Structure 1
């Protein structure tokens, strides 16, 4: 069940670190659609799962559309990059020589400056000697146009099972992903999903979903996120042997691995250290790894959690405290599920999507919306609205957030967020919150 959440929530975790000035110059909040061609044509098929660069200039997403770039004739999902400054849209899931992929590509992540994009793909023509007939993880360099495969062993052996859902460090050096492969590192005998990190500088691959003493997990570990410098990797795991006193059965927890110390720690616990009473999943990290946000079905992580719904939480490494984020400005808990968190570089802002109708006033559309919680002021705002603040008439999901929290990218099936949205498919939008 837990593994199915990676496709339901698809929290794609692009880490952002520098609170640079956003590309838009508007003073007030604006909403724009970015899943369009360079000439402004709307897509002719669905676009989903955005990631955004640190300054909000670049937005990457996957799309089944065939009209976002010329000569898109492969009939499968591709990865695209929208430059919000130049207004150009580029397909990135191509080989170094520019050949389009012969199978689907999805789940993109982007480095802080937008130079490196990671994604997974079933294509076998993006790099030479791809003969494993499995989903692999690739990285595209926007400056050189080169595409490389990173889901390989230190000795460059290709994976013998599929690898998915990459996360990328700020400088693009470290790529985290999960894989069912057994040949990426020695002594991988658990027959389970593991989390790996590829160091592009040294060409080494390391399994990080292990205990502090190096024991491999006895159940699946998946959905990684990575801090800006690559020191911390968070992930979801059903393993019970990676930390002491993990006795909540086959429930999934959020664990964090520390590259510097080699320690693995469980953070989906209450402030007093109680383990979660239900599944926790889909984590993201602030730039320095101090704050970890995640979704959980547990009802015992904070007091007075009685809504019987998935909530979004933030754990503070410095204080060891856990706080619930998916609440209204007055502190009222959501009356329906909240999930898919994204967090700003400093951990102040947390975006997520929710079906709750009581997080902000006048939420009457009865669909999932995108909300942003300001952890300093305690305010909750809905951002999946039009420039004129009309609420969306269809669902909005899976936010990504710029480093300073100003720009929020998300996908939505709504037709009233921007003018002339007549394609009746999910699009990628960016909410520029202006003065916040």
Structure 2
């Protein structure tokens, strides 16, 4: 339920209490990835009036639990009549009826013209959260698609801002639509909350009670001593994950040192909102925090955290990331690979999705034995069985051949039978266009 702001200032933002026990780290022995020959069809999602193909790039942002509603962002000018002057808009497509609606609107229905590229959709597809600029400052909003109303989650006006950026961004929403997590650079979201000069904290608003609480708080009750951002929330709304450069989010060790002293790294955390316990989520193969990509996904029940850490570069010095999934209940960490070859160098997009039953992980990536185009990495879309390590290739052309481009940003339905994703391949569908990014959905029901 999660992408980046188009303005310069916000693009910079986007791009176990106690001592942590050593985690058991396991590399899954992946079976060679292969496509199931009877996957259902691939369909375009970023379509507009009368089925018009989006004429500019689009991004996958989420799918409802039953697979009916797909959320995406697009710079296209031809999806709805108002799109010509938007620059960028958020859309929901009803995959059953084929209707596409613009959801980045004010309460009176006016299309918004300055929004970020981060948004989320509730499990039933009714609620959409996003960040938009009004009166000179960005705030978080929630739109009720059924009632046609847009309501503020945060408030703030430019007149009280002073210098710097003091907006609220990067909202995500729980599956039941009750809790919304977001990042804010403001110092007045929670009255009395400790702040720093470079405040960038994580908050959760409970829509049922109206209460907002600070999540990124130092273990000693003092302000986090570094910026925290890029939240994610479990489907049940109990667990919030986030990236942070703070060094005081965990309790001090017995010798009095901070729980984590690695300020040069972005580190990933998960906070249980019921117990208030914060634990390290992004662990490397040796059980210590690695240099993390800021993108983090949680499973629906909050048990698993999926993320990518920096790894040794590809030949030629090109950077890469390696995908992991951390069982926050047992401490077990799995390295997610698409090759059974132990010598293969693997990489992955940091976005990954886990099914509601915690059985499958969907991700974009590849290994060195699937490198094409003179050493360039191809990011295909895969799913891996977390019990057996079986890996299946999902992005194939109609005749079963590999695609020519790359996939990213998967979102999966509760039953794991439908996956939404972005792709820039010109041959994923017959008559595919160019190499721009568009949004697709694939049925995973075997024929």
- Same fold by TM-score, threshold 0.5 exceeded? yes
Contact map agreement 2:241 2:271 (CA 8 A) in 1: yes
Uncovered stretches (5+) of structure 1, i.e. residues with no partner: 9-25, 125-130, 300-306
Contact map agreement 1:340 1:399 (CA 8 A) in 2: yes
Distance in 2 separating the partners of 1:201 and 1:315: 31
Residues 414 and 28 from structure 1, CA distance in 2 versus in 1: closer, same or farther, beyond 3 angstroms? closer
Q: What secondary structure sits across from 1:72 in the alignment?
A: helix
Distance apart, 1:362 and its partner CA: 13
Distance apart, 1:30 and its partner CA: 1.7
- Is 1:176 paired with 2:181? yes
Residues 179 and 60 from structure 1, CA distance in 2 versus in 1: closer, same or farther, beyond 3 angstroms? same
Q: Which residue of 1 aligns with 2:243?
A: 236
Residues 32 and 254 from structure 1, CA distance in 2 versus in 1: closer, same or farther, beyond 3 angstroms? same
Contact map agreement 2:361 2:384 (CA 8 A) in 1: yes
Residues 33 and 209 from structure 1, CA distance in 2 versus in 1: closer, same or farther, beyond 3 angstroms? same
Contact map agreement 1:338 1:355 (CA 8 A) in 2: no
Q: Which residue of 2 aligns with 1:294?
A: 307
Q: Which residue of 2 aligns with 1:19?
A: none
Moved more, 138-147 or 407-416: 407-416
Moved more, 349-358 or 328-337: 328-337
TM-score normalised by the chain length of structure 1 = 0.83
Q: After the TM superposition, which parts of structure 1 deviate over 6 Å for at least 4 consecutive aligned residues?
A: 3-6, 157-160, 359-365
Q: What secondary structure sits across from 2:367 in the alignment?
A: coil
- Is 1:248 paired with 2:255? no
Distance in 1 separating the partners of 2:79 and 2:49: 7
Contact map agreement 1:363 1:391 (CA 8 A) in 2: no
- Is 1:187 paired with 2:193? yes
Aligned length: 398
Residues 28 and 393 from structure 1, CA distance in 2 versus in 1: closer, same or farther, beyond 3 angstroms? closer
Distance in 1 separating the partners of 2:425 and 2:276: 45
Distance in 1 separating the partners of 2:341 and 2:360: 17
Q: Which residue of 2 aligns with 1:265?
A: 279
Distance in 2 separating the partners of 1:59 and 1:397: 15
Q: Identify the match of residue 147 of structure 2 among 144, 148, 157.
A: 144
Q: What secondary structure sits across from 1:372 in the alignment?
A: strand
Contact map agreement 1:282 1:341 (CA 8 A) in 2: no
Uncovered stretches (5+) of structure 2, i.e. residues with no partner: 1-9, 16-36, 252-258, 313-317
Contact map agreement 1:394 1:412 (CA 8 A) in 2: yes
Structure 1 or 2, whichever has the larger Rg, is 2
Q: Identify the match of residue 349 of structure 1 among 346, 357, 360.
A: 360
Q: What secondary structure sits across from 2:325 in the alignment?
A: strand
Q: What secondary structure sits across from 2:166 in the alignment?
A: coil
Q: Which residue of 2 aligns with 1:304?
A: none
Distance in 2 separating the partners of 1:359 and 1:321: 28
Instruction: Output one character per residue of 1:117-162: Cα deviation in whole Å (capped at 9) or x when no partner.
Output: 112222x2xxxxxx3x122221111111111121249xxx999712
Contact map agreement 1:195 1:208 (CA 8 A) in 2: yes
Distance in 2 separating the partners of 1:112 and 1:329: 35
1:337-416 equivalences under 5 Å are 337-354=348-365, 356-358=367-369, 366-416=377-427
1:18-417 equivalences under 5 Å are 28-122=39-133, 124=134, 131=135, 133-152=136-155, 161-185=166-190, 186-190=192-196, 191-244=198-251, 245-269=259-283, 274-297=287-310, 309-329=320-340, 334-354=345-365, 356-358=367-369, 366-417=377-428
Residues 239 and 365 from structure 1, CA distance in 2 versus in 1: closer, same or farther, beyond 3 angstroms? closer
Residues 85 and 332 from structure 1, CA distance in 2 versus in 1: closer, same or farther, beyond 3 angstroms? farther
Instruction: Output one character per residue of 1:231-271: Cα deviation in whole Å (capped at 9) or x when no partner.
Output: 11011111110013212332121111111111111122358
Distance apart, 1:375 and its partner CA: 0.7
Residues 271 and 43 from structure 1, CA distance in 2 versus in 1: closer, same or farther, beyond 3 angstroms? closer
Distance in 2 separating the partners of 1:96 and 1:376: 46
Residues 37 and 69 from structure 1, CA distance in 2 versus in 1: closer, same or farther, beyond 3 angstroms? same
TM-score normalised by the chain length of structure 2 = 0.81
Distance apart, 1:367 and its partner CA: 2.9
Contact map agreement 1:256 1:264 (CA 8 A) in 2: yes
Distance apart, 1:213 and its partner CA: 4.0
Moved more, 85-94 or 157-166: 157-166
Distance apart, 1:338 and its partner CA: 3.9
Distance in 1 separating the partners of 2:272 and 2:299: 14
Instruction: Output one character per residue of 1:204-235: Cα deviation in whole Å (capped at 9) or x when no partner.
Output: 22110113443321111111111122111011
Residues 36 and 180 from structure 1, CA distance in 2 versus in 1: closer, same or farther, beyond 3 angstroms? same
Distance in 1 separating the partners of 2:394 and 2:161: 42
Distance in 2 separating the partners of 1:167 and 1:115: 14
Q: What secondary structure sits across from 2:204 in the alignment?
A: strand
